[in-house]
Amino acid sequence: MNETAFNVPSNQGITFPREIFYNVRSVIMFFVFGIGILGVIGNILTIIVYMRLGFSETIHMSYLALAVSDLCTIISTMWCSMCYFPIIKIFLNRFRIATDVGLFGNYTGVWPHLGFSKTTAFITAWISLERCLCVVFPIKVKLLITRSVTKLVLIIIFVIGCGPVVFAYSGVKAEWRFDPLRNQTRFYIFGDVDKDLNLLNRFAFVLYGAVYPVFSWVSVIMCTSFLIIKLRRSAPWRKRNVTDPPMETIHRNQVHERRIFTRTNRVTKTVVIVAIIFIVCSFPISLNLFYSFFEREYSINGNLRYLIILNASFILLLSEINSSVNIIVFTVMGTRFRSTLLEILCRK
């Protein structure tokens, strides 16, 4: 995004005040860095905890992959906001890199963010689907979803999620040129206007802007709705067992059954909470995209360019929140996770 494009005068249609844009964006960027720091620490701790717990349960592998994707999402989000700080211009001049700051931010921050955030969405959808299969086929699921299958699925998700970023870079060219005004050779980075390359770039934009969000959003909503219904149906069973005699007087098989049921319910609730947070944080993205289809001025070159950039900053913040709060959910809902985390923190 070119900062100079914001100053193009326009007297037609509705507009958005530039002063409000700069003030609100500064506040959003402050929260992006504050939440980002906490999110980086939280996801690193999550990765350490699940590596310590091991992968006897396949969902631990999915949680670890989710933490890795979330960590990359947060780092790319923080870098997106940094690209418009004056220090980045100083950095580019220091290393003789000649490029538009907006273009530099897009290719080093925005596109990687899109790749990792959509990977996070797909992993969330996979975790929800895995939990649904565990509820529907509680006995056969361990034969269906093995560690090898989970590893393969997660690798495919990362390839599908981050792969289209390559198409975005298809229109980038770089070369060394002599700048007579500065009397020095500089490294120029610019976008190519070749039609075929632009088609690849647009293809990646359609995937990240429409296809991937809709697919992941619908998948997570369907699986989460199914899990919530199952949890509500299991409530009467849980109430009956609460009024039963103490555990010491119950048959050993019943005790084991109750523990398995309790653990399964806790894991299901964890997945539901993670999915609901994803749905809430990703809904503005879908709404933003939907509105852009019907309002012609709601674009980077329209009268509402300030508003769309401001909303994009807010969406980045929501994406960062979604990638930062999972450690809180895991700590509250998981006894093993909580005890392992406390053990790590106490040793530190």
Taking residues 69-92, report their average pLDDT: 80
- Of the pLDDT bands very low, low, confident and very high (cuts 50, 70, 90), residue 3 is very low
What residue has token string 């592998």? Answer: 61
In the chain, the percentage of residues whose pLDDT exceeds 90 is 25
Least confident of 5-14, 165-174, 230-239: 5-14
pLDDT at 249 over 60: no
- Helices 111-136 and 212-242 cross at an angle (nearest 10°) of 40
Give CA separation, 117 vs 29, 43, 72, 221, in Å.
18, 14, 8, 17
Taking residues 121-146, report their average pLDDT: 87
Question: Which residues neighbour 223 within 8 Å (Cβ) at sequence distance 6 or greater?
Answer: 125, 128, 129, 131, 132, 275
CATH code reported for the domain at 18-167+211-347: 1.20.1070.10
Domain boundaries, the chain: 18-167+211-347
Specify the pLDDT at position 8. 38
Taking residues 59-66, report their average pLDDT: 94
Amino acid of residue 45: L
Pairwise CA distance, residues 340 & 53, whole Å: 8
Give the predicted TM-score (pTM) of the model: 0.80
Pairwise CA distance, residues 209 & 202, whole Å: 10
- Of the pLDDT bands very low, low, confident and very high (cuts 50, 70, 90), residue 237 is very low
DSSP codes of every residue in 172-212:
EEEEEEEETTTTEEEEEEEE---HHHHHHHHHHHHIIIIIH
Specify the pLDDT at position 27. 78
Pairwise CA distance, residues 109 & 79, whole Å: 6
Specify the pLDDT at position 102. 61
Amino acid of residue 258: R
pLDDT higher at 123 or 237 = 123
